[in-house]
Amino acid sequence: MRRWLPLLLALGLAACASTPGHEAVSKARGPLDTNAAVEHSVDNRAVALLWDKAERARRDNQLDEAVAALERALRLAPDDAVIWSRLAELRLQQRDYAVAENLAAKSNALAGNQRLLQYRNWLIIEAARQRRGDEAGARQARERAEALHGS
């Protein structure tokens, strides 16, 4: 039951959020279920195409290709916090933990008031730190994530 609470809260927050580029998490089994598709609407057609390409590649388990597509997208839209976050998730899947944490931190710096996104990023950072054996750091990340729930 406890696992679903964050998701419900997150969806609730998403409903309240009025920031640009908000995302819909569909059929997620948890907030950080990277197997779920993430929709991301952007103004730039090229970025949208690259995002779709990355999602398709990820579904086919071609992670290198997905990463490359997102990196290309970032050169066109360097301030898009969602792309940085998705890239961080891919790196997490590839076990590049240090890089995953760095990219998630960058996404946070660009996230402005997108609390759901920041929440996701802190969960990525928690997972990255945990798998590198940094228990204390992982706990701190978890606390930051939880703090985004309240208020």
Partner 1 sequence: MAKRSRRSSRRSRSPRRRGWVRLRPWVLLVAGGAFAFAITSFLLLDVRVRAQFGRTQWRLPAHVYSQPLDLYQGRYLSEDQLVDQLQALGYRQDGALDKSGHFDVHGRDVDLHTRGFGFPDGREPERRLRVRFAGSRIAAAHDAAGGDVIARLEPQRIGSVYPGRQEDRVLVRLGDVPPELVAALLAVEDRDFFEHWGVEPTAILRAMVANLRAGHTVQGGSTLTQQLVKNFFLSNERTLSRKFTEALMALSVEWHYSKEQILEAYLNEVYLGQDGQRAIHGFGLGARFWFNRPLDELDLHEIALLVGLVKGPSYYDPREHPRRALERRNTVLAVLAHSPSIGEARARAAMEQPLDVVDRDAVQLQAYPAYMDLVRSQLARDYREQDLKGGGLRVFTYLDPQVQGAAEAAVRERLEALDPGGRKQLQAAAVVADTATGAVQAVVGDREPRRAGYNRAVDARRSIGSLVKPAVYLTALSRPDAYTLVTPISDAPLQVKLDNRRTWSPENYDHRNHGRIPLIDGLVHSYNVATARLGLDLGLDQVETTLERLDVGDPDGIVPADLLGALSLSPLEVADMYQTLGAGGFDAPLNTIDGVEGPGGAHPRRYGLDVHRVLDPEPVFLVDAAMAEVARRGTASALRQRLPDRDVAGKTGTTDALRDSWFAGFDGRRTAVVWVGRDDDEPAGLTGAAGALRVWADMMHSVPPAPRRASAPAGIEWARVDPDADRTLPSGCTDAPRLPFIEGSLPPRAQHCGGGEPLGGR
Binding residues for partner 1 (CB under 8 A): 44-46, 49-50, 64-65, 67-69, 71-72, 74-75, 78-79, 87, 91, 96, 98-99, 102-103, 105-106, 109-113, 118
In this structure, is the dihedral angle defined by the CA atoms of residues 3, 123, 117 and 99, taken in order, positive or negative? Answer: negative
Q: How far is the CB of 55 from partner 1 (least distance, A)?
A: 15
End-to-end Cα, the chain, rounded Å:
21
When the beta carbons of 29 and 95 are compared against partner 1, the nearer one is 95
Closest CA to 93 of 127, 48, 70, 118: 127
Alpha helices in 23-112 (DSSP H): 45-59, 63-76, 81-93, 97-110
Q: How far is the CB of 79 from partner 1 (least distance, A)?
A: 4
Q: How far is the CB of 58 from partner 1 (least distance, A)?
A: 13
When the beta carbons of 28 and 53 are compared against partner 1, the nearer one is 53
